[in-house]
Amino acid sequence: MKYRTLGRTGLRCSEIGLGTWAFASQIYGAVDRGDAYRTVDRALDSGITFFDTAPLYGDKERDGISEKVLGRALGDAKRSVIISTKFGRYSTDGAAPNFHAKRAYESVEGSLRRLGRDHVDVLFFHSPFGPQDIHDDVWEALDDLRSQGKVRFLGHSISMFQDTEGMARQWAAERKIDVIQVVYSLMNRESSALIRDLADEGIGIVARESLANGFLSGAITKETVFPEGHLNSRYSREEIADRVDYVDTLSFLVRGPVKSVPQAAFRWVLDNQDVSLVLSGASSEDQLAECAAVSDIPGYSKDELRRADQVHVRDFQAA
């Protein structure tokens, strides 16, 4: 495993991290608790040091199921790894925006309790949809949480990119945030300019959804039928076919030490040196091992990267 610096935070992170949404949500299908524990164990064995979670990763009765699973799975290792979590959206209230001081305090205390830790390394705003979601009092509360040592650095986990890119740029310029978490993949590159510009300002860049909600997993075909409740069930047959056809145009990236489409997807993201790390949403130890191995695979040539640009004619929108 290779390591990169998370922007001006100075934190040295594995260039592949583990995201834990799947541990608590059935949005991609149910995950056995034992599989979750084994996945975390494999991550540690692979040299992964960055783990991402959130209170929203729960159900209608309980926030932060994935935080609790992660805390238990890490055991004593939780003292030496880097953990990011989020605030502002919660499973128990339908993910309504709650970006205000009182909720920030409650959220951090709940996350620390579930994780079994006395601090989080990065606290992300969890996908605000615009400036109207942010209460003025939240900044004083976040400063207080940092002064108490309960939060080390702040970040913005970006959703609704076209509506919130400007907000991320402003917060970065005002030094309100240190890290962004943003969708970035072979199928969705709309964040490319933001990544470049904010990395130049010293902002750490965490890439997520780099398997494009499974379409770069190599497992989805034109005949795939997604069960009700699955994140991809909203797509028409035509949209599924369009995405599968595009993935086929990337087959040239599977060569030599790159053994699969997921590995190609992760290798391409890591070839952008402005990216600090890419999150794997693996729900099994085999999936995790496949992604973690990419860190030791040499990068693509300039010609291969140029060809990957040439076949990309449009962005496929993220969830």
Q: How far is CA 302 from the centre of its chain?
A: 26
Return the amino acid letter for 278: V
On whether the CB atoms of residues 230 and 29 are closer than 8 A, the answer is yes
Q: State which residues of the chain have pLDDT below 70.
A: 25-32, 319
pLDDT at 218: 86
| Domain assignment of residue 118, yes or no | yes
| Domain assignment of residue 181, yes or no | yes
Q: Which of 2, 273, 17 is nearest to 121 (CA)?
A: 17
Distance (Å) of CA 94 to CA 89, 91, 309? 8, 5, 38
pLDDT at 192: 98
Is 0.85 surpassed by the pTM of this model? yes
- The model's pLDDT over 138-178, given as tens digits with 9 standing for 90+, comes to 999 999 999 999 999 999 999 999 999 999 999 999 999 99
Q: What percent of the chain has pLDDT over 90?
A: 85
| Domain assignment of residue 156, yes or no | yes
Which pair of structure tokens corresponds to residue 156? Answer: 């913005």
3-state SS string over the chain?
A: CCEEECHHHCCEEECEEEECHHHCCCCCCCCCHHHHHHHHHHHHHCCCCEEECCCCCCCCCCCCHHHHHHHHHHHHHHHCCEEEEEECCCHHHCCCCCECHHHHHHHHHHHHHHHCCCCEEEEEEECCCCHHHECCCHHHHHHHHHHCCCEEEEEEECCCHHHHHHHHHHHHHCCCCCEEEEECCCCCCCCHHHHHHHHHCCCEEEEECCCHHHCCCCCCCCCCCCCCCCHHHHCCHHHHHHHHHHHHCCHHHCCCCCCCHHHHHHHHHHCCCCCCEEEECCCCHHHHHHHHHHHHCCCCCHHHHHHHHHCCCCCCCCC
| Domain assignment of residue 200, yes or no | yes
pLDDT at 233: 84
Number of domains in the chain: 1
CATH number at residue 235: 3.20.20.100
pLDDT at 26: 53
Determine the structural domain holding residue 145 and report its residue range.
3-310
Return the amino acid letter for 199: A
pLDDT at 34: 81
| Cβ within 8 Å of residue 34, ≥6 positions away | none
Question: Terminus-to-terminus CA distance in the chain, angstroms?
Answer: 29
- The model's pLDDT over 56-90, given as tens digits with 9 standing for 90+, comes to 999 889 999 999 999 999 999 999 999 999 999 99
| Domain assignment of residue 29, yes or no | yes
pLDDT at 317: 80
| Domain assignment of residue 317, yes or no | no
